[in-house]
Structure 1
Amino acid sequence: MTRKIRNKHMTPEETMALWKEKVLVTLSEEEKAIVSYWEKLILDKQRTLRVEAYMKRLSYKKNLQRQKRNTGCLMMGLEIAKGL
């Protein structure tokens, strides 16, 4: 039975450091090279996902602002039309 390494309050970097302390010392040099390669790929993927999520939030905010602006212009147009 294996013990769970990751604590739900730990960041991915802390989890990786703990994993390196516990597991990486038992691996051979070839296995360490493979692990470091995959670690780099995983961290790159995480960074990419974070950037994509940020861009989605940013575009959502911009669309929301645009909708509010368009709604405001529409309401002003209706008020002007009622006055005529």
Structure 2
Amino acid sequence: FAYENLPEKDDDGFATKWAAKAYLGKLYHTLGCQGDNTAWEKAKACFDEVMPKYRLADKFSDLFVDYVQGSPESIFQLNFALAG
């Protein structure tokens, strides 16, 4: 349901169809680890669909600064602000 109904583009703090597909792949991966051998192919199909939409960050160290927003590696990210 989520994959068919969520937007394709990121909308600051809301999930996209690609985040839903990635989590579905994660679910199939977990089922595969529990012994469901058919789940491995389903997980791979999900991840193969999601992976072309994202890329690795240019600099690995950029992933570990205090404020990371809009990383090309981020499939789903929540942004927080410190209340002052």
TM-score, normalised with respect to structure 1: 0.28
Where is the helix percentage greater, Structure 1 or Structure 2? Answer: 1
Larger Rg: 1
Q: Which has the higher contact order (CA 8 A, sep 6+)?
A: 2
TM-score for the superposition, normalised by structure 2: 0.28
